[in-house]
Structure 1
Amino acid sequence: MAASVTDGGDLLVEGDADGLVEIVAVGEGSFQVSDNGVVVADGSTLTGVTDDIQIRLEDAAVDVNDAVTIDLAGQTVDTIYARLGGGDNTLDLFGGSAGRVLVRSGAGADSISLGGVVTGRAHLALGAGDNSVLVVGELAGLAVHTGDGSDAVTIAADAAVTRSVMALLGAGDNSLTIDGSIAGGVAVSTRDGSDAVVIGESASLGGSARLSLGDGDNTADVAGTIDGSLLYAGGDGSDVVALAATSDVAGDATGRLGDGSNSWTADGVVGGDLNVVSLNADDVVTVGDEATIGGETTIGVGEQTDLGFGCGRHHEHEGQEHEGHGGFDGQSVMGRHLGGRVAALLQRLR
């Protein structure tokens, strides 16, 4: 593995690593890079870093388990590009500030932790496998695309996203857990599998939550605050949607439940209309005695005839596509938007 500074001021870390790769800021524009505890290049060599950090691992080796930590130590860089390849990879970013973060990995169980401050959006394109994404710092926005596998995306209680969160998660038992603050909205789309979305009691969303979950026994638990609307669409399977007593949705709460034994419970506050329809006449929709519905309540179990919401397309890593399941009107924008950004990310990291 080698580390150098380009004429344009980029820190370039490339090749095959023997172990943990540690990238540490040691001064203004100076870095030290170590591989498996051995210093590859120190701050006297890696000086004049004024732009990006580019990480391109796995040159000769294929599907190696790469581990990278980046400690910016109060320094600021423009963009962090990381191409990790196949294998069970980890990337841990903390300390300091980056303008953007772009990560691409191949098949394997990858783990990404984002701390510090990212003043722009973090784009993560992760391959098939049981991937995890943990946000513990401050991001302007987050876009995640994964292949098949049981993926987990978590916005921790101390985390803050100043714009929006978008996630396209592949087939598998996926989860999205939000305990922190998101100034914008959340849009998530999944494929087949038993998926779970949790908007915890400490969570706050400045926009709407659009949850479009595929076939499988899915759950959505809302206990926090949503300043916009809640929109839920489920595919075939037994889905459970619960708005806890602590939940506060300022706008409408809309649910379209697919084929299966579904239930929807509302025990909190919905400032607008509550509208739930489903394909199965035996589905159960319960509005609790202590619930507050500011607008009209419309329940139509067994009355839904068309799922045709069009959630858009998932984009594969190499430019291929596969169809998403049903979603809400306009949610195809999410698929096109994130898919286009993923394509741009892949082009940049080739």
Structure 2
Amino acid sequence: MSKRKVVALALLWALILILQGYWLFESQRMTRASAAARDEQATRGAQIYAQNCMVCHGPVGEGIIGPPLNREEFRAEGKTGIQVATIQDFLTKTIARGRPGFDRNTWQIEGGKIHSYTRMPTWATSDNGPLNEQQIRDLVTFLMYGDWKEPSKYAAAPEVARLTVTEYVTNPDTGQQEPRTRAVTAEDLDVKAAGLTDEENQEAKKLFVTMNCVQCHTLGSYGGVVGPNLTRAGEWLPSQEFVERWIANPQAFAPWERMPSVWHGQGTPVDLTETYRKEQDKFRSIMPAFENAMSPEQIRLLARFLMGLGDVENRNAAAAPGTTEGTGSQGQGQGGGA
């Protein structure tokens, strides 16, 4: 073989090796870039979840009024490409279009289970919702790939929680009105429970503030959004006994008895009892127990207060369609679930 051919062959192999190295480098770079972009989307999605979804689906996706979203069936890890695309399509359509039901939280006890007939609102701007296509993609990316510890970081943001009151007072030195911010007190909670005296209402609201319930739950015009809005809690909570047990020790409840395990909406009802049993450690409430912080009398008073909030006189008047057993109860509508 001539020297010229040897040089040409060597150059050819060098070019092949360079191209192969570049391809490997570029492939890895694209993979890293894709992962970084997905992480950014998931972070934005966690913020959107905290501001719009946490109040119904829970701070760690454990489910409260809406069903749990921190479920293995919604995660992309370990799934085939077709399965990932199917999950993405389902979540996108459900978030965009919502699910039918009552505008107020509607729970019924049927066959020993709590059923939910609560509507999930439409979220896509194309359906008069507040989220554009990019925001919905970010939210779906979070549900499929994100870290469920992230949403709680954004739960206390000023735009999603009202934990302070701004008042205008006269500055004695200047005579000018100046804003002053203070923490929410029992007097600020503009709700009143039926069946309680004025003194009992005031004492219950003091408990709500001193036990820091207001940090997580909205009551009237004030409160946090980590837990569900309790302004009309009496319209949907199952019973006095349930609420007393719940305040005393939420962790004592199995997931399938602490909230609805069956959701009605489009098509066949979704019963998550088996999902709860298989992944139950992810679905227990993060609410702390108060049995050692409050007396039984205080727990009973707070439970009576919550059961008296809202249109409790008509609590059992509206039955969900197609049901004949159980106790109908309606409450403030903030969404059902996927």
Report the TM-score, using the length of structure 2 for normalisation: 0.22
- RCO greater where, 1 or 2, for CA within 8 Å and sep 6 or more? 2
Higher strand share: 1
The structure having more radius of gyration, on CA atoms, is 2
Higher helix share: 2
